[in-house]
Amino acid sequence: MVIKSNSLASVAGTELRRLLEISSVSGDETEILAYLEKRCREMGFRTEHQEVIGVRYNLLVNPLPEPGLIITVHTDTVPDEINGSTCRYEIDGERFYGRGAADVKGGTAALLAAMDELFHHSYMKDSGMPPITFAFTVDEEREGRGSEELARLGGHAAVVIEPTDLKICTAQSGSVIMQLRVYGRSAHGGEFESGYNAALRAMDMLEKIDRLPVLNRRHRLAGHGGYNLQMINAGSREMAVPRQCDLLLDFRVLPDEEPADVQTAVDNLINKYDGVDSKWLEVSGAYQISETEPIVNLMQSCYKEALHEEPCLGAIHSWTDAENLNNAGTKSLVFGPGNLALSHTEEEYVDLPEVVKAAQVFTSLISRSHQLKQ
What are the pLDDT digits (tens) for 208-223?
999 999 999 999 999 9
What is the spatial distance between Cα 149 and Cα 58, in angstroms, rounded to a whole number? 8
pLDDT band, very low/low/confident/very high, at 118 (cuts 50, 70, 90): confident
pLDDT tens digits, one per residue of 194-208: 999 999 999 999 999
Statement: residue 1 has pLDDT above 60: no
In order of their start, the domains of the chain are 5-172+287-371 (3.40.630.10), 174-284 (3.30.70.360)
Length of the chain counted residue by residue = 374
What is the spatial distance between Cα 272 and Cα 82, in angstroms, rounded to a whole number? 35
Mean pLDDT of the chain: 95
pLDDT of 130 reads 82
Is-contact 42 106, C-beta < 8 A? no
Maximum separation of any 2 CA atoms in the chain, in Å: 82
Residue of 356, 338, 315, 361 lying closest to 103 (CA atoms): 338
pLDDT band, very low/low/confident/very high, at 124 (cuts 50, 70, 90): low
Pairing type for strands 287-288 and 223-224 reads unpaired
Is-contact 178 280, C-beta < 8 A? yes
pLDDT band, very low/low/confident/very high, at 229 (cuts 50, 70, 90): very high
pLDDT of 123 reads 59
Statement: residue 6 has pLDDT above 60: yes
Statement: residue 5 has pLDDT above 80: no
Is-contact 232 247, C-beta < 8 A? yes
pLDDT of 127 reads 63
Model confidence, pTM: 0.93
**Position with higher pLDDT, 128 vs 328:** 328
Helix (H) or strand (E) holding 51: strand 47-53
pLDDT of 29 reads 98
pLDDT of 129 reads 78
Q: How much of the chain, in percent, has pLDDT values that exceed 70? A: 95
pLDDT of 178 reads 99
Statement: residue 345 has pLDDT above 90: yes
Query: Residues 225-239, buried b or exposed e (16+ Cβ, 10 A)?
Result: bbbeeeeeebbeeee
Q: Where does residue 131 rank: exposed (0-12), middle (13-18), buried (19+ CB within 10 A)? A: middle
Is-contact 293 331, C-beta < 8 A? yes
What is the spatial distance between Cα 321 and Cα 169, in angstroms, rounded to a whole number? 13
pLDDT of 7 reads 84
Residue 364, classed as helix, strand or coil, is helix
